[in-house]
Amino acid sequence: MQQALDILKKYWQHDTFREPQDKIIQSVFEGKDTFALMPTGGGKSVCFQVPAMMKDGLCLVISPLVALMKDQVANLAERNIKAIALTGGISTDELSDLLDNCMFGNYKFLYLSPERLQADWVIERIKELPINLVAVDEAHCVSQWGHDFRPAYLKISALKKHLSHVPFLALTASATQRVQEDITTQLGLDTPTLFKKSFARENLAYMVFETEDKLHRIQQILTKNTEPSIIYVRNRKACHDMAAQLQALGFKATFYHGGLKEKEKEANMDAWIKEKAQVIVATNAFGMGIDKANVKTVIHIQLPENLESYYQEAGRAGRNGQKSFGVLLVNPSDVKVGKQQFLDVLPDKKFLKEVYLRLNSFLQIAYGEGIDQTYQFNFNNFCLHYKLPATKTYNALQFLDRQGVLTLSQQFTEKVTIQFIIPSKEVMRYMSLNPADEEMVLAILRNYTGVFDIETALNTTLITKKAKVTEEQLLNLLHRLAAKEIITLRSSGNDSSITFNEVREDEHTINRISKFLETRNEIKAAQFEAVIQYVTNNNKCKSRQILDYFDEKDNADCGICSYCINKNRKPASPVESANAILALLKESAQSSKQLEEQLGLTPDETIFALQILLENNRITINNNNLYILK
Ligand SMILES: [Zn+2]
């Protein structure tokens, strides 16, 4: 495989393949159908990019992740390799032209959304292209038993029939035995060779800590480990808050989330990459394309949605092979909050039907019509008009998108984003000088209290209603305020859009897809239940718990996780513990939980030591139920 190595060196500047990349490449190069089961971050893309470069012709990559496709196309372009991505939101004419370009334009990679295969003419055109390899990324999407079933993936088997001479490579990061077999059947793979990379990460210590004071615990961790860290938080606001709190404690912290301007994203990311900032506080938008090897700690301060994403995010620590930590901080209310965040917002059949019918009346689509039509769509207006809860409605629309009923354009929830950049006192002055604007400015200030501190996405419909003005008047005001440098203003310009892929058929449509909805909701609930198990099961090695979840049984204890450390530690001496407690109480009053955390004692050891001190009259309990010196 010298040729493969040469290509790797020439285009990727790497000298060696990682296990089992070379074996996968060899298998594909020999023209065999191949199944690659590798964790994310295991170097999946090289497995099809390198063999495709070894042959004449074009590699077809099918992926559901638009952002990832764009990222890879840009990445290939940097290496002077011609690639193109045909995603949703491209008109039929444009698509036809672009497929022509693939025929004659010397492209090496064609990235395609699975929805594109729904039109038979697209499959016909692909048949004419000089395809040398078909890579099916996120292949579990073809299985109803996978966690992200997309019916559009079923069309790939039609392609397989037409391209029987071309090897297919199925790639996935998560597939149980059942899903694996299903993928092979559904894609019509011809006795594929299976390559599996273990999910084990020997140098990564999984830690679960129960704590009532998460900030304090983070402070301890970051003081002890001064190398680069990532802290994952639930939402954008928490990003700003946590970064500010860490800065106040003297840490160099920055933040990253999907709502930042491109420039700001780059600057913050750069500060962290170049280690001007020790910590980056981020939402799960942070991850794609990060290639920093020396991350020491990845801390989650809320429960993740599932262990798949947890494994991926925690796995960004220790890529250099050095000992590193994946820390999950939990307190007793987290399970309840997590359920609200992830499970209560899943639409059921009744709600899905309501959203579907409302959407059709909102866009004035008659029964039996709507196919191939694209409509401008304002999500906020829609929710407000029918008093629908935003997240649950978004999930319902997304489900219709996954099922191929319609195609949503991306990021339509944020249209106008502003932040006041002068003190509030100055804003009051502006209002007194410009009474005509007063109502609108007040409506913004009343509804968005944080608008002085962070960039805030405005629900323009809400504001126009409250201030009794038109959208035009409001936008007009915002532009004037921006021109006077009173606010920063960012608007995404275009409205979002929805394209219908089939005709409106009410009951028929909903009944057809609702059985998948039930399966999906069950899977999501089971996934979150596994997260709860992971944080509450203190009787088994954390690494083994994760590997079990990915169907890798019979592993030995890792020896470095929170469970293993606790199991192997020697019991603390009661006298030493009691003295340590006295030293801490000299500083301030403490609860037993706080003492336990600071001293690294078990609850039993703490209570025993406190008992000794109480009996000897050295300490007592104050009115707030805290221990103090006597
Ligand atoms: Zn362990």
Output the CA 533–ligand 1 centroid distance in Å: 15
Output the CA 561–ligand 1 centroid distance in Å: 4
Task: Tokens for 143, please give them.
Answer: 């299985």
Output the CA 539–ligand 1 centroid distance in Å: 10
Q: How confident is the model at residue 309 (pLDDT cuts 50, 70, 90)?
A: confident
pLDDT of res. 319? 87
**What is the distance between the alpha carbons of residues 412 and 497, in angstroms, rounded to a whole number?**
8
Mean pLDDT across 281-286: 89
Output the CA 24–ligand 1 centroid distance in Å: 31
Output the CA 542–ligand 1 centroid distance in Å: 5
Output the CA 535–ligand 1 centroid distance in Å: 13
Digit-coded pLDDT (tens) for 361-410: 999 999 999 888 878 788 888 888 999 998 899 899 989 988 889 988 75
Cβ atoms of 612 and 574 within 8 Å: the answer is yes
Output the CA 594–ligand 1 centroid distance in Å: 25
Q: Which of 103-107, 569-573, 617-621 has the highest mean pLDDT?
A: 617-621
pLDDT of res. 414? 42
Output the CA 208–ligand 1 centroid distance in Å: 11
Output the CA 204–ligand 1 centroid distance in Å: 10
**What is the distance between the alpha carbons of residues 429 and 324, in angstroms, rounded to a whole number?**
53
Output the CA 528–ligand 1 centroid distance in Å: 21
Q: Nearest CA to 310 among 206, 238, 235?
A: 206
Mean pLDDT across 338-345: 91
pLDDT > 50? residue 413: no
Distances (CA, A) of 263 to 123, 256, 290: 40, 11, 17
Output the CA 215–ligand 1 centroid distance in Å: 25
Digit-coded pLDDT (tens) for 27-62: 999 999 999 998 876 788 999 999 999 999 999 999
pLDDT of res. 466? 83
**What is the distance between the alpha carbons of residues 48 and 109, in angstroms, rounded to a whole number?**
10
User: Chain-wide mean pLDDT for the chain?
Assistant: 89
pLDDT > 60? residue 118: yes
Output the CA 541–ligand 1 centroid distance in Å: 4
| Residue written as token pair 């088997």 | 157
Output the CA 207–ligand 1 centroid distance in Å: 9
Output the CA 459–ligand 1 centroid distance in Å: 47
Digit-coded pLDDT (tens) for 416-434: 789 998 888 889 889 888 8
**What is the distance between the alpha carbons of residues 93 and 64, in angstroms, rounded to a whole number?**
22
Output the CA 559–ligand 1 centroid distance in Å: 5
In 38-192, which ranges are E strands?
58-62, 83-86, 109-112, 131-136, 168-172
Q: What is the DSSP letter of 590?
A: B
pLDDT of res. 494? 47
Output the CA 242–ligand 1 centroid distance in Å: 29
Output the CA 543–ligand 1 centroid distance in Å: 5
**What is the distance between the alpha carbons of residues 297 and 205, in angstroms, rounded to a whole number?**
9
More confident residue, 103 or 496: 103
Output the CA 203–ligand 1 centroid distance in Å: 11
pLDDT of res. 166? 96
Output the CA 545–ligand 1 centroid distance in Å: 9
More confident residue, 589 or 463: 589
Output the CA 291–ligand 1 centroid distance in Å: 26
Mean pLDDT across 340-357: 94
Which range (97-106, 180-189, 467-476) has the least confidence? 467-476
Digit-coded pLDDT (tens) for 178-232: 888 999 999 999 999 999 888 899 999 999 999 888 999 999 999 999 999 999 9
pLDDT of res. 492? 61
pLDDT > 90? residue 482: no
Q: What percent of the chain has pLDDT over 70?
A: 97
Residue 425 is inside which H or E element, if any? helix 424-433
Output the CA 567–ligand 1 centroid distance in Å: 9
Output the CA 113–ligand 1 centroid distance in Å: 40
pLDDT > 70? residue 289: no
**What is the distance between the alpha carbons of residues 231 and 301, in angstroms, rounded to a whole number?**
7
β pairing state of 229-232 and 297-300: parallel
**What is the distance between the alpha carbons of residues 481 and 416, in angstroms, rounded to a whole number?**
13
Task: Tokens for 572, please give them.
Answer: 């603390």
Output the CA 577–ligand 1 centroid distance in Å: 26
Output the CA 551–ligand 1 centroid distance in Å: 17
Output the CA 348–ligand 1 centroid distance in Å: 39
pLDDT of res. 246? 97
pLDDT of res. 355? 96
pLDDT of res. 89? 64
pLDDT > 80? residue 235: yes
Output the CA 598–ligand 1 centroid distance in Å: 22
**What is the distance between the alpha carbons of residues 171 and 35, in angstroms, rounded to a whole number?**
6
pLDDT > 80? residue 556: yes
Which range (199-213, 487-501, 549-563) has the least confidence? 487-501
Output the CA 558–ligand 1 centroid distance in Å: 4
Output the CA 327–ligand 1 centroid distance in Å: 13
Output the CA 220–ligand 1 centroid distance in Å: 22
**What is the distance between the alpha carbons of residues 68 and 66, in angstroms, rounded to a whole number?**
5
Mean pLDDT across 127-154: 89
3-state secondary structure of 259: coil
Output the CA 287–ligand 1 centroid distance in Å: 26
H-only helix segments in 2-119: 2-12, 21-29, 44-54, 66-78, 92-104
Output the CA 556–ligand 1 centroid distance in Å: 8
